[in-house]
Amino acid sequence: MAGVHPRRREPALSAQITVLRSDEKETRPLETTTTGLDLFGGDRSVVAMRIGGEVLDLAREVSDGDVVEPVTLAEPEGLSILRHSAAHVAAQALQGLRADTKLGIGPPIVDGFYYDFETEPLTPDDLAAVEKAMGRIVKERQRFVRRVVTDAEAREELASEPFKLELIGLKGAASDTEGASVEVGAGELTIYANERRDGSVAWQDLCRGPHVPHTGYLGNGWALTRTSAAYWRGDQSNAALQRLYGTAWASKEDLQAYRTRLEEAARRDHRRIGAELDLFSFHDLVGSGLPLFHPRGGVLKRTMEDYVRAAHVANGFDYVGTPHIAKEELFHTSGHLPYYAEGMFPALLEDAERDAQGNVVKGGQAYRLKAMNCPMHNLIFASRGRSYRELPLRFFEFGTVYRDEKSGVVQGLTRVRSITQDDSHSYCTREQAPDEVRHLLRFVLGLLTDFGLTDVVLELSTRDVDGKKADKFIGTDAQWDEATAILAQIAEESGLPVVPDPGGAAFYGPKISIQAKDAIGRTWQMSTIQYDFNQPERFGLEYTASDGSRQRPVMIHSAKFGSIERFMGVLIEHYAGAFPAWLSPVQVIAVPVAEAFAEHLEGVAGQLRAAGVRVEVDDSDDRFGKKIRNAAKEKVPFVLIAGGEDVEAGAVSFRFRDGSQRNGVPVADAVALIADWVAGRRNDSPTAEALA
């Protein structure tokens, strides 16, 4: 029966429930047929309730002894419920306009929702019409009514929806489809109907819920954003679909704030800035996800590499180097084939015989482009006998690896197919492992701070014990428990927020991922530290212990940048291209007021170059004003100007990014000020006040 809590029983006279609001606890008697709406219906910010860890619709009844917590729009789970409800409203609106539209899947996502449909391509005019229809549905305050159905009932009611029928057939396995968990699970099936005030059903959908009580909860804090092509269940061999994207927020003000963030994100888009600053490009003749770094981008990349190479040496790492390809057998030994096969490029066949059409008729030795460096580092460790006195032994390299990313997910530098990793592996005893993880975490946090990324949280990724990914993990329960406990303890010791990520571990062990927020509050996954007890065993790695016995080391993977390309993309967006002086590809542009003063600035530039500063003199035929504008567009931290008075005084004048100026600075002082600022690795922009 709709709205009935499965655990409900007739309350005794002394029946009571506990309601938790923030830090307040209230015990109250339980009335007959008390629902979440009776408890929280007067507060529109409450969209669901939590009982025993389960999130339920407010229309559900509560039972004797329940501890009930409101789920509000101030928390991510509440916003997800609002957004999923908005997805239903969007689907109802589109089917109302196009009756032959077939429903796919419509889950909440970060900052919004989408819904997939089989229908003709959607145009901007279609989006406007759907939004208008959604507005009418919202104003009608249609109730979301939950109803448990059998598989047979669901098939009968959704007979005209082929994709829903497929999900019903898959049921427990349907969660393998992206977003399908919002529709069906391993248990009962439920249908949510949108009911008008007169009780008639306006629309319904297969869904697990929960939902907001009625469509009016969406208010005016929602909008449709765009459309794209999609494939059913994410498989290009399946039916082509149209994906409708939207967003929903607690209020109109929150929606506007989100739009403002999007505008700022577009202004900071590293692909646009990369082209404007001539940092990198992509070319069809090379392929998507394979960046070409131009001279200025090469300077930025080299500066990053020089920093992290020196930092690894200072932290006790030995630099090693490995090839870009290896026999396929290596990756079987490491376990990456088959556990990571979908992320690797197909095999290259050495000495293969081919027919006139290029088809292989007799295969040769199979090689693979490496997708990770760790297997070859293991071979370096195993190249000779190792003693406990050498441990921890730390290897590091700039290893370029190759990932067979789908073309639809490749995005600028932040998702590429050619990845340069500052990849390192520590080999240590089990007793040394906790301190090695601490050492690596300090290293990572120090690096992020040096690059100006200081707002960080830790994500603890563990294995999926009994879910859909359970069979992708290798190793014993005892090994996983020990490794996970070590990482969890060290993450807590850090004092930083720790976010659980069940099922997100690598197949060979748990990991800590460091998430950093940029200047406009977006979160990026940056560095990782992974505990590996599997590969040392698979490669037979050993060291001689103090008692003469042969022992297996623990292997700890860590990547500080993670991907240099991705890290660069994040930095470009974090600083909107206005890099700190120490990172800026061009640190100084010297602009003479007239051609006669160029020689003076060439002399200053020579002194700056001798001090290790990257400087250019603009001796073009452009007018002075245009040269200043060009320097501003290039976001250079220091602009030096020289006119007649400067030359006579043996001085220069400064112009800074914020428009402030400092005039008549003696050349020796100017060179020292710039060199000191750059050497200090300051992440703020220089100003006249800061250099006073």
* Residues noted as catalytic: 374, 403, 421, 423, 425, 511, 557
Can you state the angle between helices 295-314 and 564-574, rounded to 10 degrees? 110
Residue 257 CB partners (closer than 8 Å, separation 6+): none
CA distance 99 to 226: 21
Can you state the angle between helices 124-140 and 76-97, rounded to 10 degrees? 110
| Dihedral in degrees, nearest 10, Cα atoms 477, 478, 483, 487 | 80
Paired strand residues for 618: none
Strands (E) across 232-298 are located at 240-248, 280-281, 292-293
Residue 319's SS3 state is strand
Residue 374's SS3 state is helix
CA distance 318 to 427: 12
Residue 367's SS3 state is strand
CA distance 619 to 600: 12
Which CA distances in Å does 432 have to 219, 242, 555, 582?
Answer: 56, 53, 11, 36
CB-CB contact of 458 with 496 (8 Å)? yes
CA distance 613 to 268: 26
Strands 292-293 and 280-281: antiparallel
Residue 197's SS3 state is coil
CB-CB contact of 601 with 573 (8 Å)? no
| DSSP secondary structure string for all residues of 107-175 | -EETTEEEEEEESSPP-HHHHHHHHHHHHHHHHHT-EEEEEEE-HHHHHHHTTT-HHHHHHHHHGGGGG
Say which residue the tokens 């917590």 belong to: 69
Strands 456-462 and 511-517: antiparallel
What is the residue type of 200?
S
**Phi, psi dihedrals of residue 436, rounded to the nearest 5°:** -65, -40
CB-CB contact of 166 with 116 (8 Å)? no
Identify the burial level of 508 via C-beta atoms within 10 angstroms of its C-beta, where 0-12 means exposed, 13-18 middle and 19 or more buried: buried
CA distance 603 to 606: 5
Say which residue the tokens 């297997």 belong to: 375
C-alpha neighbours within 13 Å on the C-beta side of residue 101: 25
The closest of 549, 446, 463, 560 to 503, measured between CA atoms, is 463
Q: How many helices (H) and strands (E) does the chain have?
A: 19, 35
The maximal CA–CA distance of the chain, rounded, in angstroms, is 99
CB-CB contact of 393 with 426 (8 Å)? yes
Can you state the angle between helices 252-268 and 564-574, rounded to 10 degrees? 120
Q: Is the peptide bond before 124 cis (omega within 30 degrees of 0)?
A: no
Residue 271 CB partners (closer than 8 Å, separation 6+): 412, 413
